[in-house]
């Protein structure tokens, strides 16, 4: 019997996607001023010039016309906390007081599955409104927080990574698990969710000070037993935190070395912040295949420090961009680019807009070992993409009138844009957000 024709959609706009890091390659991207993206059964079939691809469309396929706008792969946010959604913009004198006064009391409420579901629903809608289609997400110590998150992301058909926080010391009793109990809960969640649909699991020790050596040992064992899972944690974010780690683990050469000693430096490991690294730390990260999630809005908000892009690049350490909500002050990856650019300038280097868009798309996918799955427009890639409007606000529109290059247009979006610039968000070929219903 003949096979039914696949469901095909086509979208006309300017197209931008990447093949390599612009910092290290002159052939880093493809740009089609008048482009066509063809999607079939939730995956990219083709992306290129409209004039070349329009004739290949099956009869009867209508083209959704986004002319004047820009289609890119969906943004990938590699470090944020969904339970902290409602405490974003909470004042504190630094990281550790912020955790004690706001984070831990807020996360206590996630023992209630109904509360966790409500926050997860809002959190995911906010990501989609800002053009983020994949994220690496922290839950709380409660397994039900992870169940609630994955249930909400599964209902939307999203490619998401998440995990239950492991925390068995130096935290309130109401948020404390045990080394054995945390490992057991984690393994059960891996078996329940990892690779179910588009869900992927991350082993998630919060950070070294809140885990005993026994818990870190068991987390490392899980990372070895399930090598295709992810691992996420925090490292070298704040000088007070680094001093605390030194007192707790005096035998370790550095904060990063604590994790290395427990077998946590490996591909698919994402370390948040990585500010207070020395040259040996940068080199070890690069050798291990682990990646850094750079969180500029959070680092500035909490006064933690400035990430050193130049030293990371010199070591060829994989880097990504992340919002770190709720220490970070925005869900928008465009606003995150804005702050990343300023952090780079303050450290004496320069981030072109083209590179920032790479880091938020293919760069993140590569760091997560998901190139060819998300982050690009190669044939067979999952069709997660966004439509950006360079004229979304009066100021952006006025700036667009003066732009005469791709770099200038992207730079304006990265420094002046926010959720208003995201006209539409698609996941696996399905539109999940549309800013203007009249589009």
Q: What is the distance between the alpha carbons of residues 202 and 263, in angstroms, rounded to a whole number?
A: 15
Provide the CA 288 distance to its chain's centre, in angstroms.
Answer: 20
Q: According to the model, what pLDDT value does residue 99 have?
A: 86
pLDDT tens digits for range 226-270: 999 999 999 999 999 999 999 999 999 999 999 999 999 999 999
List beta partners, residue 40.
8, 43
Q: According to the model, what pLDDT value does residue 211 have?
A: 98
Residue 164 main-chain phi, psi, to 5 deg:
-75, 130
Q: Which residues of the chain have pLDDT under 70?
A: 1-6, 437-439
309 and 321 in contact (C-beta within 8 Å)?
A: no
pLDDT tens digits for range 89-118: 888 888 888 888 999 999 999 999 999 999
Q: According to the model, what pLDDT value does residue 2 have?
A: 35
Q: What is the distance between the alpha carbons of residues 375 and 73, in angstroms, rounded to a whole number?
A: 5
Q: According to the model, what pLDDT value does residue 96 have?
A: 84
- pTM for this one? 0.97
Q: According to the model, what pLDDT value does residue 9 have?
A: 97
325 and 88 in contact (C-beta within 8 Å)?
A: yes
Q: According to the model, what pLDDT value does residue 92 have?
A: 82
Q: Which helix H or strand E contains 301, and what residues bound it?
A: helix 296-301
110 and 135 in contact (C-beta within 8 Å)?
A: no
Half-sphere exposure of 305 (CA within 13 A, CB side): 18
Q: According to the model, what pLDDT value does residue 436 have?
A: 79
162 and 190 in contact (C-beta within 8 Å)?
A: no
């Amino acid at each position: 019997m003949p096979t039914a024709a696949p469901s095909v959609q086509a979208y006309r706009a300017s197209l931008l996607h990447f093949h390599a890091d612009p910092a290290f390659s002159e052939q880093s991207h493809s740009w089609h001023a008048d482009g066509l993206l063809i999607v079939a059964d939730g995956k990219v079939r083709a992306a290129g010039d409209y004039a070349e691809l329009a004739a290949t469309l099956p009869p009867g396929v209508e083209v959704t016309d986004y002319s004047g706008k820009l289609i890119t792969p969906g943004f990938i946010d590699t470090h944020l906390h969904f339970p902290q959604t409602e405490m974003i913009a909470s004042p504190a004198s630094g990281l550790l007081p912020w955790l004690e006064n706001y984070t831990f009391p807020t996360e206590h409420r996630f023992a209630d599955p109904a509360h966790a579901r409500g926050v997860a629903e809002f959190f995911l809608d906010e990501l989609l409104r800002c053009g983020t289609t994949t994220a690496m997400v922290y839950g709380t110590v409660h397994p039900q927080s992870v169940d609630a998150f994955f249930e909400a992301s599964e209902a939307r058909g999203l490619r998401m990574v998440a995990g239950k926080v492991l925390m068995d010391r130096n935290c309130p009793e109401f948020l404390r698990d045990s080394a054995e109990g945390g490992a057991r809960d984690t393994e059960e969640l891996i078996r329940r969710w990892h690779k179910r649909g588009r869900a992927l699991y991350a082993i998630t020790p919060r950070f070294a000070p809140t885990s005993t050596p026994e818990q870190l040992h068991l987390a490392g064992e899980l990372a070895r037993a399930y090598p295709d899972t992810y691992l996420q944690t925090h490292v070298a974010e704040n000088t007070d935190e680094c001093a605390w780690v030194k007192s707790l683990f005096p035998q370790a050469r550095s904060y990063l070395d604590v994790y290395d000693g427990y077998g946590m430096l490996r591909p698919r490991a994402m370390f948040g912040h990585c500010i207070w690294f020395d040259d040996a730390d940068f080199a070890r990260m690069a050798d291990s295949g682990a990646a850094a999630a750079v969180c500029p809005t959070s680092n500035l908000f909490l006064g933690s420090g400035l990430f050193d892009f130049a030293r990371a690049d010199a070591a060829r350490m994989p880097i990504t961009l992340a919002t770190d909500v709720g220490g970070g002050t925005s869900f928008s990856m465009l606003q995150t680019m804005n702050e990343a650019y300023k952090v780079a300038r303050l450290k004496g280097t320069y981030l072109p807009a083209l590179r920032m868009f790479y880091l938020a798309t293919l760069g993140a996918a590569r760091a997560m070992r998901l190139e060819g799955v998300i982050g690009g427009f190669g044939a067979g890639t999952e069709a997660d993409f966004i439509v950006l409007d360079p004229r979304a606000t009066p100021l952006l529109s006025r700036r667009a009138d003066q732009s005469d290059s791709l770099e200038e247009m992207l730079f304006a979006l990265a420094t002046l844009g926010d959720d208003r610039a995201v006209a539409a968000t698609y996941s696996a070929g399905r539109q999940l957000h549309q800013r203007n219903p009249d589009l």
